[in-house]
Structure 1
C-alpha cells in the first residue's frame, strides 16, 4: 500500500499493513519511493501521512479511544 507524506507529497510504501491499522502504533515502517533504486526502510509518523488522493487516514487507525470520543 502506498501513502503520501503531508509535507513533501512523497509516496511511501507501507511495509506492514497491520502496523498501519493498529491504533496503538503512532509510527509505521515504510520505504520512500524516490528515485529508481529501492530505498532503505524508514520510520514515519502516521499523523504525517495521507492517502495519495489527499484524504486523511481513518481515525480508527490513529486513535485507540476513537469510540469513547464519539460518545461524549
Structure 2
C-alpha cells in the first residue's frame, strides 16, 4: 500500500500491512519511493502517514481505544 509521509510529502510503500491495520502498533516498516534508487526499509511512526490524497488514516488503525470515551 502506498501512503504519503506528511512531514516530507514523499510516497512510502508500507511493507507491513498487518502492522498498519493493528491499532496497538505505533510504527510500521516502510520503504521510501523517492529518488532513483529504492531506499532501505525503515520504521516510521503511523502518526506521520496519510493517504496520498492527504486524508488522515482511520482512527481505528491508530488508536486501539477509539471506542472508549474519556
Q: Given the alignment of the two structures, is residue 44 of structure 1 paired with residue 44 of structure 2, yes or no?
A: yes
Structure with the bigger percentage of helix: 1
Deviating beyond 4 angstroms after TM superposition, the runs of 4 or more aligned structure 1 residues are: none
Structure 1-normalised TM-score? 0.91
Partner of 2:14: 14
State the alpha-carbon separation in 1 of the partners of residues 14 and 29 from structure 2.
6
TM-fit CA distance, 1:38: 2.1
Q: Tell me, which stretches of 5 or more residues in structure 2 are unaligned? A: none
Q: How many residues align?
A: 70
State the alpha-carbon separation in 2 of the partners of residues 53 and 45 from structure 1.
19
State the structure with more CA Rg.
1
RMSD over aligned CA atoms reads: 1.0
Q: Tell me, which stretches of 5 or more residues in structure 1 are unaligned? A: none
TM-fit CA distance, 1:35: 1.4
Structure 2-normalised TM-score? 0.94
Q: Secondary structure at the match of 2:31?
A: strand
